[in-house]
């Protein structure tokens, strides 16, 4: 448990789970950060949101000789990543759906660690052509395996309805503006409330 978990402000790591060139992830994560920043807990200084962009961390495909469960990290990049994740009390995972699952870069980043995730609450927001529900199902299973408690419900953004597309229409490279329906912001607020309550210990977090 992070030392700030009970009394100080809660640090929510906003994990951006895509890394490809031209990705829409930063727009989505920016909107989530802005929306979470309007939450009463953030306004009261009880919660801060830290963006954790996997494109910035650039972890290689898992190359540790010992599984993370043993905490025996041999590489400097793993120790750096460990510190980033250990510093957070809770997480929001922002994931697109790639071929009905999470991007490999996100799965890889989770696989690198174990104790740093364990016992901490997580919220999930997905986006995609079909909203990303299948990616969320996979992510829930993965997060459960590293002992995280996923707060109920998730937020889903549809590429066709939660973005505003230019006059020339929808295309993979079109410069679309993120413009989620108002209900999506309310859903993010509910998720953040769940995370803050769980991180503060108001809701028991199951640990394996
Ligand atoms: C490799 C790949 C596979 C995709 N598969 C799905 C999918 O299974 N379901 C879906 O809703 N969207 C799918 N999409 C659309 C993505 O969700 C959409 O392009 C989204 O913007 C990807 O996130 P990113 O721009 O941050 O990389 C796929 C996109 C890519 C690049």
How far does residue 97's CA lie from ligand 1's centre (Å)? Answer: 5
As a whole number of angstroms, the distance between CA 67 and CA 109 comes to: 13
* The predicted structure's pLDDT at residue 202: 62
Q: pTM of the full predicted structure?
A: 0.94
Confidence at residue 38, expressed as pLDDT on a 0 to 100 scale: 97
Q: Which residue has the tokens 């978990």?
A: 5
pLDDT at residue number 208: 36
- Please identify which residue in the block is written with the tokens 């977090």: 205
Place of tokens 């962009």: 53
Q: Please identify, by atom number, the ligand 1 atom nearest to the C-alpha of residue 132.
A: 11
As a whole number of Å, the end-to-end CA separation of the chain is: 14
pLDDT tens for the 208 residues of the chain, in order? 444 445 689 999 999 999 999 999 999 999 999 999 999 999 999 999 999 999 999 999 999 999 999 999 999 999 999 999 999 999 999 999 999 999 999 999 999 999 999 999 999 999 999 999 999 999 999 999 999 999 998 999 999 999 999 998 899 999 999 999 999 999 999 999 999 999 998 654 443 3
Instruction: Name the residue of 93, 129, 136 whose CB sits within 8 Å of the most ligand 1 atoms, as the mutation to test its pocket.
Output: 129
Segment (H or E) for 47: strand 47-53
pLDDT of 164? 95
Identify the H or E element spanning 125.
Answer: strand 121-128
Q: Compute, in angstroms, the gap from residue 197 CA to the centroid of ligand 1.
A: 32
pLDDT, residue 8, reads: 86
Q: How far is the CA of 16 from the centre of ligand 1 (A)?
A: 14
Q: Is 23 in the pocket of ligand 1 (CB under 6 A)?
A: yes
- The β-bridge partners of 156 are 126
Query: Where do the domains of the chain lie?
Result: 10-199
d(CA 124, ligand 1 centre) in Å: 16
Place of tokens 């025996």: 72
Between the alpha carbon of residue 181 and those of residues 26, 52, 66, 178, the distances in Å are 18, 25, 45, 10
Question: Does any ligand 1 atom lie closer than 6 A to the CB of residue 24?
Answer: yes
10-199 classified as CATH 3.90.1300.10: no
55 ligand 1 Cβ < 6 A: no
Query: Cα separation of 69 and 18, whole Å?
Result: 25
Distance 23 CA to ligand 1 centre (A): 9
Instruction: Name the one residue in this structure whose structure tokens are 């789970």.
Output: 17
Residue 126 CB contacts under 8 Å (≥ 6 apart), including other chains: 94, 95, 96, 97, 132, 133, 135, 136, 139, 154, 155, 156, 157
The tokens for 208 are 């394996």
């Amino acid at each position: 448990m992070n030392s700030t978990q009970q009394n100080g402000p809660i640090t929510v790591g906003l994990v951006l789970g895509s890394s490809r060139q031209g990705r829409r992830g930063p727009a989505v994560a920016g909107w989530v950060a802005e929306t979470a920043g309007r939450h009463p807990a953030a306004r009261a200084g009880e919660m801060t949101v830290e963006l954790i962009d996997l494109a910035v961390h650039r972890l290689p495909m898992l190359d540790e000789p010992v599984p993370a469960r043993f905490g025996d990290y041999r590489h400097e990049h793993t120790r750096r990543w460990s510190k980033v994740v250990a510093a957070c009390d809770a997480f929001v995972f922002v994931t697109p759906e790639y071929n009905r699952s999470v991007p490999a870069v996100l799965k890889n980043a989770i696989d690198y660690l174990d104790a740093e995730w364990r016992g901490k609450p997580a919220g999930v927001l997905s986006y995609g052509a079909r909203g990303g529900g299948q990616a969320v199902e996979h992510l829930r299973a993965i997060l459960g395996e590293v002992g995280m408690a996923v707060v109920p419900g998730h937020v889903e953004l549809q590429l066709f309805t939660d973005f505003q597309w230019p006059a020339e229409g929808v295309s993979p490279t079109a410069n679309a503006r993120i413009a989620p329906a108002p209900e999506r912001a309310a859903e993010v607020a509910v998720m953040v409330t769940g995370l803050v309550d769980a991180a503060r210990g108001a809701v028991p977090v199951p640990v394996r």
